[in-house]
């Protein structure tokens, strides 16, 4: 076991990990931050997306020791201290951008990374950016609409083609 | 995943020394190695992370040569390889944003997946793969599926691309994996045209020499009209037959020339 230290949602944390401990495992099992979901074993689904030093990464495809000293942001850090949803989370609720909710933590974290890079993305840019986030409920349309709304743009009536 | 020891050296020398140990692999972005370890296709006793080595990172231009450090992420290449737009575009089309924020050019080339994007750019540009021990020409580097000229314990440190006059990469995406179902990289230099094909052959990335000759004489999409890519030895899977891939090779070559 090796001790790792990092900052998670603004708080300094540490814990003992093995070589094979994934960042997602460290967040969920050492820190109890189970909002980061693990939906696959192949690095394809994106439910585990968190930010490491400001960049969206799949926390299931990075070892905890690789995040030593890093600044990590997870879904738990998105809402205000009083539990009020942030703009993206609120838009997901308003536009029904989730059904079962399993992919939602990754979707929200990817959306946050997108809007930081590109504050007013087009519908095509949103769809392109979310290529690594799989949702099996919504068909994506309402997720795209939520992100359009969260970026302060008119929300198109996306046809369910 | 089986457990292993983890080391994160700060220099190439220290990494190469650490890699002398039995059963030890380099870890770069982990976007291929970690999933393969989860499936126990790989079970090293030790991983030596390269991503803490600053000397392996970055994009630079010197005259007509673009050099990329082996541990440079796809996202960084997409943003910073502006001197070679076709390469930047290729990097920006690999996987998805989270994969691009971790995955690296060195890992992609060492892995030599038959459907990966970078091998086609390296072979198609006639780039040079630089390792801790030597320089390897692209034509000598790729050695069949998941196999390269790298010796055990040898690491890629950088890749040097001669910047072509014109180039373009056309990727026909396999929508589930986002790898190339077939991809074609075309580059036109003062020495002629190179056409490299990925995602199609059971032997991995290869050059379509007939198209290279035709395009060196006449760099227009029509120049390949009279050619037929052979379906012999092409991959057959649920995504496409060899004949389908052969047809894609020609179509994508024409599109790449038109877009270059
Ligand atoms: C969802 C998803 C989609 C993807 N889509 C694409 C795609 O569209 N196109 C594409 O080309 N790729 C794609 N990839 C693969 C991705 O590009 C990987 O980043 C890349 O193949 C491996 O690079 P890495 O830095 O992650 O290497 P790692 O996974 O760390 O390593 C891969 C192998 O290379 C070895 N290695 C690493 N660095 C070096 C070095 N410097 N010298 C010698 N050996 C080294 C390792 O030991 C290991 O065997 C995708 C991956 C995922 C998970």
Look at phi and psi of residue A90 and say left if phi exceeds 0, alpha if psi is from -120 to 50, else beta: alpha
List of residues 6+ apart from A81 with CB closer than 8 A: none
A159 pLDDT more than 80: no
Using one digit for the tens of pLDDT, what is the confidence trace for A93-117? Answer: 999 999 999 999 999 999 999 999 9
- CA of residue B108 to ligand 1 center, whole Å: 4
Find the residue in A nearest to B39 (Cα): A41
List of residues 6+ apart from B145 with CB closer than 8 A: B112, B113, B114, B202, B203, B204
Is B85 in contact with B168 (CB distance < 8 Å)? no
Whether A160 is covered by a domain: the verdict is no
Is residue B108 in contact with ligand 1, taking CB distance under 6 Å?
Answer: yes
Query: Which ligand 1 atom lies nearest to the CA of residue B47?
Result: 47
Look at chain A and report how many structural domains it folds into: 2
List of residues 6+ apart from B167 with CB closer than 8 A: B84, B86, B87, B124, B125, B185, B186, B187, B188, B260
Is residue B179 in contact with ligand 1, taking CB distance under 6 Å?
Answer: yes
- CA of residue B125 to ligand 1 center, whole Å: 20
- Identify the H or E element spanning B183: strand B180-189
Best of A20, A68, A69, A125 to disrupt the B interface (most B CBs within 10 Å) is A20
Q: Are residues A30 and A66 in the same domain?
A: yes
Token pair 């395009």 is found at B215
Q: Are residues A104 and A42 in the same domain?
A: no
Using one digit for the tens of pLDDT, what is the confidence trace for B40-91? Answer: 999 999 999 999 999 999 999 999 999 999 999 999 999 999 999 999 999 9
Is A93 in contact with A101 (CB distance < 8 Å)? no
Whether A156 is covered by a domain: the verdict is no
- Predicted pLDDT of residue A84: 96
- Identify the H or E element spanning B180: strand B180-189
**A49 vs A73: CA distance, rounded Å:** 10
Whether A127 is covered by a domain: the verdict is yes
Domains of chain B with CATH codes:
5-49 (3.30.43.10), 57-162 (3.30.465.10), 166-259 (3.30.390.50)
Chosen domain end from A48, A77, A106:
A77
Instruction: Provide the pLDDT confidence category of residue B177 given band limits of 50, 70 and 90.
Output: confident
Is residue B164 in contact with ligand 1, taking CB distance under 6 Å?
Answer: no
From the list B4, B39, B97, the residue facing A56 with the nearest CB is B97
Is residue B178 in contact with ligand 1, taking CB distance under 6 Å?
Answer: yes
Whether A109 is covered by a domain: the verdict is yes
Whether A159 is covered by a domain: the verdict is no
Domain carrying residue A106: 87-150
Query: Which ligand 1 atom lies nearest to the CA of residue B93?
Result: 8
- Predicted pLDDT of residue A104: 98
Q: Hey, which residues does A16 pair with through a beta bridge? A: A3
If you average pLDDT over every residue of chain A, what do you get?
Answer: 96
User: Which CATH number covers residue A138?
Assistant: 1.10.150.120
- Identify the H or E element spanning A56: strand A55-58
Query: Which ligand 1 atom lies nearest to the CA of residue B26?
Result: 47
Is A27 in contact with A50 (CB distance < 8 Å)? yes
- Token pair of B242, please? 């060899």
The answer to whether A2 contacts chain B (CB < 8 Å) is yes
Q: Hey, which residues does B192 pair with through a beta bridge? A: B189
Is residue B84 in contact with ligand 1, taking CB distance under 6 Å?
Answer: no
- Quote ipTM for the complex: 0.96
Q: Are residues A31 and A91 in the same domain?
A: no
First to last CA, chain A: 52
**A18 vs B242: CA distance, rounded Å:** 45
CB atoms closer than 10 angstroms to residue B165: 11
Query: Which ligand 1 atom lies nearest to the CA of residue B32?
Result: 29
Using one digit for the tens of pLDDT, what is the confidence trace for A13-63? Answer: 999 999 999 999 999 999 999 999 999 999 999 999 999 999 999 999 999
Model's pTM, two decimal places? 0.97
Q: Hey, which residues does B48 pair with through a beta bridge? A: B7, B26
CB atoms closer than 10 angstroms to residue A100: 10
CB contact under 8 Å between B98 and A110, yes or no, is yes
Q: Are residues A8 and A57 in the same domain?
A: yes
**B216 vs B225: CA distance, rounded Å:** 14
- Identify the H or E element spanning B214: helix B209-217
Mean pLDDT of B220-238: 96
**A132 vs B178: CA distance, rounded Å:** 9
**A114 vs A125: CA distance, rounded Å:** 9
CB contact under 8 Å between A43 and B39, yes or no, is no
- For ligand 1, pick from B19, B23, B26 the residue to mutate: most ligand atoms within 8 Å of CB: B26
Is the C-alpha dihedral spanning B71, B77, B81, B86 positive or negative? Answer: positive
Chosen domain end from A77, A108, A139:
A77
Question: Which residue's C-alpha comes closest to atom 21 of ligand 1?
Answer: B108
Whether A158 is covered by a domain: the verdict is no
Whether A34 is covered by a domain: the verdict is yes
Which residues between 93 and 132 in chain B have a beta carbon less than 8 angstroms from any beta carbon of chain A?
95-99, 101-102
User: Which CATH number covers residue A45?
Assistant: 3.10.20.30
Token pair 């060195």 is found at B106
- Predicted pLDDT of residue A90: 98
Using one digit for the tens of pLDDT, what is the confidence trace for B138-147? Answer: 999 999 999 9
List of residues 6+ apart from B255 with CB closer than 8 A: B168, B170, B184, B221
- Predicted pLDDT of residue B178: 85
Q: Are residues A38 and A101 in the same domain?
A: no
- Predicted pLDDT of residue B205: 98
- CA of residue B103 to ligand 1 center, whole Å: 6
**B139 vs B251: CA distance, rounded Å:** 24
Q: Are residues A71 and A92 in the same domain?
A: no
Mean pLDDT of B174-190: 93
The answer to whether A66 contacts chain B (CB < 8 Å) is yes
Mean pLDDT of A118-142: 96
Instruction: Provide the pLDDT confidence category of residue A158 given band limits of 50, 70 and 90.
Output: low
Q: Are residues A64 and A124 in the same domain?
A: no
Percent of chain A with pLDDT over 90: 94
List of residues 6+ apart from A150 with CB closer than 8 A: A87, A88, A90, A91, A111, A115
CB contact under 8 Å between A61 and B30, yes or no, is yes
Q: Are residues A73 and A91 in the same domain?
A: no
Q: Are residues A54 and A101 in the same domain?
A: no
Dihedral of CA atoms A118, A58, B123, B212 in degrees, nearest 10, equals -60
- Predicted pLDDT of residue B175: 84
Q: Are residues A9 and A67 in the same domain?
A: yes
Instruction: Give B167: exposed, middle or buried? Use CB within 10 Å, 0-12, 13-18, 19+.
Output: buried
Instruction: Provide the pLDDT confidence category of residue B136 given band limits of 50, 70 and 90.
Output: very high
- Predicted pLDDT of residue B176: 84
Chosen domain end from A77, A110, A142:
A77
Q: Are residues A46 and A22 in the same domain?
A: yes
Task: Check residue A26 and report its DSSP letter.
Answer: I
Is residue B92 in contact with ligand 1, taking CB distance under 6 Å?
Answer: no
Whether A112 is covered by a domain: the verdict is yes
Using one digit for the tens of pLDDT, what is the confidence trace for B83-96? Answer: 999 999 999 999 99
CB contact under 8 Å between A19 and B49, yes or no, is no
- Predicted pLDDT of residue B61: 98
Q: Are residues A60 and A92 in the same domain?
A: no
If you average pLDDT over every residue of chain B, what do you get?
Answer: 97
- What strands lie across the sheet with B5-7, from one edge to the other? B5-7, B46-49, B24-27
């Amino acid at each position: 076991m090796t001790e790792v230290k990092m900052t998670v949602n603004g708080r300094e944390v540490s814990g003992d990990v093995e070589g094979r401990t994934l960042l997602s495992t460290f967040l969920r099992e050492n820190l109890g931050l189970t909002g980061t979901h693990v939906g696959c074993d192949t690095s394809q689904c994106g439910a585990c997306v968190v930010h490491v030093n400001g960049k969206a990464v799949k926390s299931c495809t990075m070892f905890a020791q690789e995040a030593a000293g890093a600044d990590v942001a997870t879904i738990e850090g998105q809402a205000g201290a009083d539990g009020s949803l942030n703009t993206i989370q609120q838009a997901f609720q308003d536009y029904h951008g989730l059904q079962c909710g399993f992919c939602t933590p990754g979707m929200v974290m990817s959306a946050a990374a997108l809007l930081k890079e590109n504050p007013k993305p087009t519908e095509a840019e949103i769809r392109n950016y979310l290529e690594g986030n799989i949702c099996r409920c919504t068909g994506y349309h309402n997720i795209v609409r939520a992100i359009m709304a969260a970026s302060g743009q008119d929300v198109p009536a996306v046809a369910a083609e | 995943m089986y457990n292993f020891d983890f080391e994160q050296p700060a220099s190439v020398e220290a990494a190469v020394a650490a890699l002398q140990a039995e059963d030890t692999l380099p870890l770069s972005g982990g976007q291929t190695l970690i999933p393969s370890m989860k499936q126990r296709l790989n079970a090293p006793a030790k991983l030596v992370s390269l991503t803490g080595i600053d000397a392996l990172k970055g994009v630079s231009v010197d005259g007509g040569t673009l050099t990329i450090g082996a541990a440079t992420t796809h996202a960084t290449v997409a943003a910073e390889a502006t001197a070679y737009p076709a390469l930047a575009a290729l990097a920006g089309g690999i996987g998805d944003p989270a994969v691009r924020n971790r995955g690296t050019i060195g890992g992609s080339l060492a892995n030599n997946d038959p459907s990966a994007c970078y091998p086609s750019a390296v072979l198609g540009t006639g780039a040079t793969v630089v390792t801790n021990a030597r320089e390897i020409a692209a034509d000598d580097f790729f050695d069949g599926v998941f196999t390269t000229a790298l010796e055990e314990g040898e690491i890629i440190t950088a890749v040097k691309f001669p910047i072509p006059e014109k180039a373009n990469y056309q990727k026909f995406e396999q929508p589930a994996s986002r790898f190339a179902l077939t991809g074609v990289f075309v580059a036109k230099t003062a020495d002629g045209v190179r056409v490299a094909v990925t995602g199609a052959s059971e032997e991995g990335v290869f050059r379509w020499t007939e198209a290279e000759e035709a395009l060196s004489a006449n760099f227009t999409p029509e120049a390949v009209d009279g050619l037929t890519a052979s379906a012999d030895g092409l991959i057959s899977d649920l995504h496409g037959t060899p004949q389908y891939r052969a047809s894609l090779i020609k179509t994508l070559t024409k599109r790449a020339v038109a877009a270059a």
